[in-house]
Amino acid sequence: MGASLEDVRAANLSLVLRHILVQPGTISRAAIATQAGITRATVSRLADELVSAGLVHELAPSSETGRGRPGIPLGPRPGMAIGLGLEINISYISACAIDLTGEVLSLKTIHGDFAGTKPDAVMADVAELGGRVLAAAQAKSPVDNPLFVGSGLALPGLVSSDALMLAPNLGWRDLPMASLLGPLTPLDPVVVANEADLAAFAVANPRPGVPNGPASFIYVSGEVGIGAGIIINHNPLSGAHGWSGEIGHICVDPAGPTCSCGASGCLEAYLGLRALASNAGMPEGSTADEIVEAAHRGSLRAQAAIADGGAALGRALAAVVNTVDIPEIILGGIVASIGDDLLPAVRDELRARVLQSAWSNPEVRIAGNPANLAVIGAAHRTLERLVVDPIIWTARPD
């Protein structure tokens, strides 16, 4: 069965909106028609629909002189559509509200120790924090009645469509999604995903609806646990169940120490923050910066812990690169904090173990601004729903 006229209209409306988001404030209806291969009359009608819905606004024409009447540039309307990102991690909970322009309207983080906590209590705290952040964003918006498109939740574990299967560092297991998300009902949770996957989405899509980040890469995220988000051609490599990227549980040494998952020699047992501190002979609760500082002061145990962690990371990443042929690796989270000290060992292992390294050794770099990427990615994912299918939002009653 072919696409209906309404399907075609929805696809074209999404296409026009994406062009506006990619070139905000500089692209006109005529330019969209040229770039998208759609008639000017169709683009004009669709753009008018987006303007009427308040998602897009017209800006002042360029002052440059030229033949004919200057085109009216279009851009996303600031503060009109708001997505809310939420994150639970072992040492903090966070909430972030972002509009369709990509502006962070409100961001708050509460630090604490959430290992072994009761899910209901933590989710209630997240709901309260998210409500405050959303209210602050709505108050800051220049729009009287901003459109809230829902919330996304980043979790440090295995997430399926109907349950949080396992978050080992939180001590959470087999939690049905319906009950887990109950406290978030007023915040309309529409996206729930692994925190590394959402951080990788933010890297690939640095503004809502704009996939102009690196096309294919592995994003390594870490705190107590180590995970990764894998992006290929701007699309997440999620796996059959959505559980890909658990590189923290790749075995890098079968005779190695016991991991929190119960297996021996996992990457996380070398590079997770608690494991790194223990291996460095430092007290539990030491930060990544403190471990690096101890190494720079001459602590041989701290130096060995970082070198072993870097080698373990390089072995795990080599296995992933050999499997899925990824050209770029981006280090985030606490891995970014110690990245400069890790990189020599990581690169040595990649050169030794990646089969194609002689011809195409993967680039390894540290994320430029790794803080808050997961919660930002969660907000961007909620806004992506609007970009993919704006037709349901343009019909919103005033």
DSSP string covering 313-378: HHHHHHHHHHHH--SEEEE-HHHHHTHHHHHHHHHHHHHHH-TTHHHHPPEEEE-SS-TTHHHHHH
- 212 part of a folded domain: no
User: d(Cα 230, Cα 368) in Å, to the nearest integer?
Assistant: 18
User: d(Cα 65, Cα 69) in Å, to the nearest integer?
Assistant: 9
Q: Are residues 232 and 251 in the same domain?
A: yes
Tokens of 45: 């009608």
Which CATH number covers residue 9? 1.10.10.10
pLDDT recorded at residue 180 = 95
Q: Are residues 188 and 70 in the same domain?
A: no
pLDDT recorded at residue 391 = 84
- 40 part of a folded domain: yes
Q: Are residues 389 and 275 in the same domain?
A: no
Q: Are residues 357 and 275 in the same domain?
A: yes
* DSSP code, position 184: G
Q: Are residues 94 and 183 in the same domain?
A: yes
Indicate the residue among 18, 47, 76 that finishes a domain: 76
* Domain total in the chain: 3
pLDDT recorded at residue 8 = 84
Tokens of 225: 């646990």
- 24 part of a folded domain: yes
pLDDT recorded at residue 244 = 85
User: d(Cα 385, Cα 292) in Å, to the nearest integer?
Assistant: 41
User: d(Cα 147, Cα 54) in Å, to the nearest integer?
Assistant: 9
Instruction: Provide the whole-model pTM.
Output: 0.91
**How many CA atoms, within 13 angstroms, populate the side-chain half-sphere of residue 180?**
22
Give the amino acid at 115: A
Q: Are residues 139 and 254 in the same domain?
A: no
Q: Are residues 193 and 247 in the same domain?
A: no
- 235 part of a folded domain: yes
pLDDT in tens, the chain (398 residues): 566 777 788 899 999 999 999 999 999 999 999 999 989 999 999 999 999 999 999 998 866 545 555 689 999 999 999 999 999 998 899 999 999 999 999 999 999 999 889 999 999 999 999 999 999 999 999 999 899 999 999 999 899 888 999 888 899 999 999 999 999 999 999 999 999 999 999 999 999 999 999 999 999 988 788 889 999 999 888 888 877 888 999 999 999 998 878 889 999 999 988 899 999 999 988 888 999 999 999 999 999 999 999 999 999 999 999 999 999 999 998 889 898 999 999 999 999 999 888 788 889 999 887 789 999 999 999 999 999 999 887 765 54
The Cα-based distances of 105 to 26, 149, 390 in angstroms read 23, 14, 22
pLDDT recorded at residue 272 = 86
User: What b/e string do you get for 252-275 counting C-beta neighbours within 10 Å, with b at 16 or more?
Assistant: bbeebeebbbeeebbbbbbbbbbb
- 285 part of a folded domain: yes
- 32 part of a folded domain: yes
Do residues 221 and 335 lie in contact, with contact meaning Cβ atoms separated by under 8 Å? yes
Q: Are residues 239 and 295 in the same domain?
A: yes
CA-based nearest residue to 195, from 237, 152, 231 = 152
Indicate the residue among 13, 45, 76 that finishes a domain: 76
pLDDT recorded at residue 70 = 64
Q: Are residues 353 and 379 in the same domain?
A: no
Q: Find the domain containing 183 and state its range.
A: 81-207+373-394
3-state secondary structure 104-152: EEEEEEEECCCCCCCHHHHHHHHHHHHHHHHHHHHHHCCCCCCEEEEEE
Q: Are residues 62 and 120 in the same domain?
A: no
- 39 part of a folded domain: yes
pLDDT recorded at residue 2 = 61
- Number of neighbouring beta carbons within 10 Å of residue 389: 13
Q: Are residues 200 and 243 in the same domain?
A: no
Q: Are residues 177 and 235 in the same domain?
A: no
Which CATH number covers residue 166? 3.30.420.40
pLDDT recorded at residue 243 = 79
- 203 part of a folded domain: yes
β 81-88/147-155 pair status: parallel
